[in-house]
A and B are shown apart, each in its own frame.
Chain A
Amino acid sequence: MITVKTAAETEKRRWERETLEPAVVKGGERASTFTTISGRPIERLYSAEDLAGIDPARDIAEPGVFPYTRGIHQTGYRGRLWTMRQFAGFGTPEETNARYKALLGAGGTGLSVAFDLPTLMGRDPDHPLSLGEVGKCGVNITSLADMETLFEGISLGEITTSMTINSPAAIIFAMYLVVAEQQGAAWQTLSGTIQNDILKEFIAQKEYIFPPRPSMRLITDVFAFCAKTVPRWNTISVSGYHIREAGATALQELAFTLRDGIEYVQWGVDAGLDVDDFVPRISFFFNAHSDFFEEIAKYRAARKMWAIAMRDRFGARSERSWKLRFHSQTAGVSLTAQQPYNNVVRTALQALSAVLGGTNSLHANSLDEALALPTEEAATLALRTQQVIAHETGVTNVVDPLGGSYFVEKLTSDMEQGALAYFEQIDRMGGMVEAIERGFPQKEIAESSYRFQQAVERKEKVIVGVNDFIQADDPPIAILYIDETAAERQLEKLDRLRQTRDQSRVTATLDRLRAAAATPENLMPPILDAVRAYATLGEMCDALRDAWGEYEEVPII
């Protein structure tokens, strides 16, 4: 452990005067200031004196010990590696089912479902706004019938599944539960995650349907339902990933994501839930961006801040409530269409930073994702990248190898201080919902994103192959091209479904859902009834639109 000696200050100053200065005078440095990709200035050298004010026992502690800066597991990856979970989905449920079987066959250890835009927005394939979008960015799921196909031959009792779905998360989750039931898997044993994070949709990703307040109620309904009925399910994945992709800095990603997490806990408590009954099932999702050490510091600060917030702000008593578990994904926004093979290298380094930061689950991007959804070959290479890190580099032999680094500990501490300042600002506004209604995080992100773009244009930040080291003849690579037949097949199936299902049962369950939405009762039971009747996702979302209306944002540039 680090001990801070006052003598170190003198040593560093003497080194600066005697050893450093002559070298700087003689050779100079490449730039007058050095900054992270987020624009944070970085000193030339960090030493013991930078750790003044950091109490190792209180602020860093050992792995598995509060506040978990060094990790939530005592044994790090020596006990168990992270889950290699590759996000996948495209076209029809039939096509995606085949891709899942290939990924599991190649040694993937969990599934992660990417849905298309109509599914994310709660629209059936025959809605005018779905034109051209069916199956393009993910798999199209219209009803329980599609969900049955998606997991055909995959035993839901034996794998864990993550589903990236937000506004209609409760409905898609209900479909999953019914498929599990059909397969004979008990809900008590099911494990997986729904993203279910609406705040970051309003802040960054913008796939919202209903206004903030009824949206938050849907989420607390899922918390309450799962606490009793599906206790091993991660009810939410509070996501910084999309906030970062939209242009936030590492610090903003950390601050807004954790403050979103606090907002959900507050709403759960206000809905009458006991903190220790639902907080252990809250998980997180961070971006693994390119600035190596800044990312590692971000993950370490996140664990520490969550532990403290849960214990001190909410009085959580269970250690399980204090431990922040997170998935990470390498930065899609860092991928370049130019010289796409460079993306393999970027992704490997980003994935390594997530591992050194103690990620519990990881998705590595494919080299072709600046151009299209990944081909099977590219997706397999991304999985292999994770396997090389896990089994060849040796970084998994030791817990938190960077713990105690002057630089990493100082960055971790600065990240925490910066994020706490954002917390104060947001608390003063009355909370995250209010801050969003005022456009506060949206403005902060738009500003950072524009500033970064300008830095790239001025070449203050180099992107290899884009603004430097440009190659005139960049040979094209093979990409996955999604044709229109997916839409046609989904439309045909929807047509057949509407003709064969018991229409009176559909109408009755939808009426019941619409009525329940206007009362405080938990919406999961009426949603499950409508799902079992093969009501479509669009029909169920329309019932809720009738009750709650739709959200429209005031755009902030």
Chain B
Amino acid sequence: MRRLRVVIAKPGLDGHDRGAKVIARALRDAGMEVIYTGLRQTPEQIVTAALQEDADVIGLSILSGAHNHIAPRLMELLKEKGLDDVLVVIGGIIPDVDVPKLKAIGVKGIFLPGTPMQHIIDFINANTRARV
């Protein structure tokens, strides 16, 4: 079985990349293939990266409050490109009231501050089937 391929992306204008980098490294140490896009990626760029990298998972790091704009656009683009089987997860600062809205559009995992890395690793393993 091939290793899970994960695109970690930092959308929006924010530069706080500590969380994105730590989780990228933790997933890599857990045996996944991790591609980190770097800062200030538009939803279009992230979907292109996922397509090119044949990603199983997209992990977004958002702390700025822009998730209600970025996530719907990303989910829409994934559908257009036929990538709706890619697991999408978000880590960052997401107010409680927004969690159900994000889940409703297909974001499977939402990880708030203080989530253990092992929890995220287990969640990804449990919710993906590596494509052959």
Task: List A residues at the B interface (Cβ < 8 Å).
Answer: 117-118, 120-121, 123, 128-133, 136-137, 201, 205-208, 245-247, 333, 336-338, 370-372, 446, 449-450, 453, 457, 463, 466-467, 476, 479, 481-482, 552-557
Q: A370-B93, A371-B95, A467-B116 are in contact. Are A207 and B15 (CB under 8 A)?
A: yes
Q: Which residues of A are found within 8 Å of B22, using beta-carbon distances?
A: 247, 449-450, 453
Q: Hey, what's the 0/1 contact readout for B97-116 against A, CB within 8 Å counting as 1?
A: 10000000000000011101
Q: Is the pair B65, A136 in contact by a Cβ cutoff of 8 Å?
A: yes
Pick from A132, A245, A337, A466: contact of B12, CB under 8 Å: A132
Check B26 for interface membership: any CB of A closer than 8 A: yes
Once the chains are docked, how many angstroms separate the CA of A121 from the CA of B26?
A: 30
* Interchain CA distance A336-B112 in the complex, whole Å: 10
CA distance A130 to B96 in the complex (A): 23
- Once the chains bind, are A338 and B114 in contact (CB under 8 Å)? yes
**In the complex, A455 Cα to B122 Cα: how many Å?**
19
Q: Is B13 a contact of A133 with CB atoms below 8 Å? A: yes
Most buried by A among B18, B67, B96: B18
Q: Quick one: which of A117, A137, A338, A479 contacts B95, CB cutoff 8 A? A: A479
Given A117-B14, A206-B16, A449-B18, answer yes or no on A131-B66 (Cβ-Cβ < 8 Å).
Answer: yes
Report how far A266 CA is from B114 CA in the complex, Å: 41
B131 within 8 A of A: no
Instruction: From A246, A336, A466, A555, name the one whose CB has the most chain B CB atoms within 10 angstroms.
Output: A555
B26 to chain A, nearest CB (A): 7
Closest 5 pairs between A and B when the two form their complex, measured CB to CB: A206-B15, A132-B69, A132-B66, A136-B65, A117-B13
The distance in angstroms between the C-alpha atoms of A194 and B42, with both chains bound, is: 30
Residue among A131, A133, A206, A337 making CB contact with B112, cutoff 8 Å:
A337
Total contacts A-B at CB 8 Å: 107
Query: Is the Cβ of A476 less than 8 Å from the Cβ of B16?
Result: no
Does chain A have a CB within 8 A of B117?
A: yes
Contact of A245 among B18, B66, B69, B113 (CB under 8 A): B18
Taking a contact as CB atoms under 8 Å apart, the answer to whether B24 and A557 are in contact is yes
A488, chain B: closest CB distance, angstroms: 13
Query: Cβ of B39 < 8 Å from any Cβ of A?
Result: yes
Nearest CB on A from B34, distance (A): 8
> Closest approach, in angstroms, between the C-beta of A32 and any C-beta of chain B?
24
In the assembled complex, which residues on chain A have CB atoms less than 8 Å from the CB atom of B25?
446, 450, 557
Interface residue range, chain B: 35 or more
Residues of B within 8 A of A120 (CB): 13
Known: A131-B66, A245-B18. A476 touches B96 (CB 8 A): yes
- In the bound complex, CA of A372 to CA of B38 (Å): 24
* Interchain CA distance A493-B72 in the complex, whole Å: 27
Q: B69-94 CB contact bits vs A (8 Å, 1 = yes)?
A: 11000000000000000000000010
Give CA–CA (A65, B25) in the complex, Å. 47
Q: Is the CB of A132 within 8 A of B68?
A: yes
> Shortest CB–CB separation between residue A92 and chain B, in angstroms?
15
Q: How far is the CB of A129 from chain B (nearest CB, A)?
A: 6
| Minimum CB–CB distance for A463 against chain B, Å | 8
Instruction: Known A-B contacts: A117-B14, A446-B25, A555-B38. Give 10 more (CB < 8 A).
Output: A129-B12, A132-B64, A136-B66, A137-B64, A137-B65, A371-B93, A450-B26, A457-B118, A476-B96, A555-B39
List A contacts of B14 (CB < 8 A): 117, 133, 137
CB–CB B64/A117 < 8 A = yes
* B11-51 residues at the A interface, CB under 8 angstroms: 12-18, 21-22, 24-26, 28, 34, 36-40, 42
Q: B residues touching A (Cβ–Cβ < 8 Å)?
A: 12-18, 21-22, 24-26, 28, 34, 36-40, 42, 64-70, 93, 95-97, 112-114, 116-118
Q: Nearest-CB distance from B14 to chain A (Å)? A: 6
Instruction: Please state if A555 and B97 are interface contacts (CB–CB under 8 Å).
Output: no
| Contacts A117-B14, A337-B113, A337-B114 given; does A482 touch B65 at CB 8 Å | yes
Question: Measured between alpha carbons, how far is A144 from B95 in the docked complex, in Å?
Answer: 33
Residue contacts A-B, CB under 8 angstroms, 12 given: A117-B12, A123-B13, A205-B16, A206-B17, A245-B16, A246-B16, A246-B18, A333-B18, A449-B22, A450-B26, A457-B116, A555-B21
* Given A117-B14, A136-B66; A481-B97 close (CB under 8 Å): yes
Query: What residues of A have a CB within 8 angstroms of the CB of B21 in the complex?
Result: 446, 449-450, 555-557
Measured in the bound complex, the distance between the Cα atoms of B93 and A336 in whole Å is 11
Do residues A372 and B95 form an inter-chain contact, with CB atoms below 8 A? Answer: yes
Contact of B15 among A129, A205, A336 (CB under 8 A): A205
B96 to chain A, nearest CB (A): 6
Residue of A nearest to B96 (CB): A476
Point out which of A247, A463, A554 has the most chain B C-beta atoms below 10 A from its C-beta.
A247
Which residue of chain B is the closest to A470 with respect to CB atoms?
A: B114
Question: B17–A555 contact, CB under 8 A?
Answer: yes
B65: nearest residue on chain A (CB-CB)?
Answer: A136
CA distance A484 to B53 in the complex (A): 34
**How distant is B70 from chain A, measured CB to nearest CB, in Å?**
6
Taking A247-B18, A337-B112, A450-B25 as contacts, is the C-beta distance between A372 and B64 under 8 angstroms?
no
**A336 contact set on B, CB distance < 8 A:** 113-114
- Bound CA span A120–B15, Å: 11
Min CB gap A396→B, angstroms: 34
List the B side residues contacting A208 at CB < 8 Å: 15
CA A129 – CA B69 in complex, angstroms?
11
Q: Does the CB pair B95–A555 fall under 8 Å? A: no
Residue of B nearest to A333 (CB): B18
Cβ B70 vs Cβ A132 within 8 A:
yes
A136:B114 contact, CB within 8 angstroms: no
Report how far A556 CA is from B21 CA in the complex, Å: 8
Assembled-state Cα–Cα distance A482/B24 (Å): 30
B106 nearest CB across to chain A (Å): 18
User: Complex: how many Å from CA A495 to CA B48?
Assistant: 33
In the assembled complex, which residues on chain A have CB atoms less than 8 Å from the CB atom of B12?
117, 129, 132-133
Question: Cβ of B39 and Cβ of A553 under 8 Å apart?
Answer: yes
Instruction: Tell me the bound Cα distance from A482 to B39 in angstroms.
Output: 24
Q: Taking each of A121, A337, A449, A557, which has the highest tally of chain B beta carbons within 10 Å of its own beta carbon?
A: A557
Select from chain B the residue with minimum beta-carbon distance to A339. B114
In the complex, chain A residues whose CB is within 8 Å of the CB of B34: 557
Q: Which residue of A lies closest to B15 (CB)?
A: A206
In the complex, what residues of B have CB within 8 A of residue A552's CB? 38
In Å, the complex CA distance between A117 and B36 comes to 22
Q: How far is the CB of A161 from chain B (nearest CB, A)?
A: 24
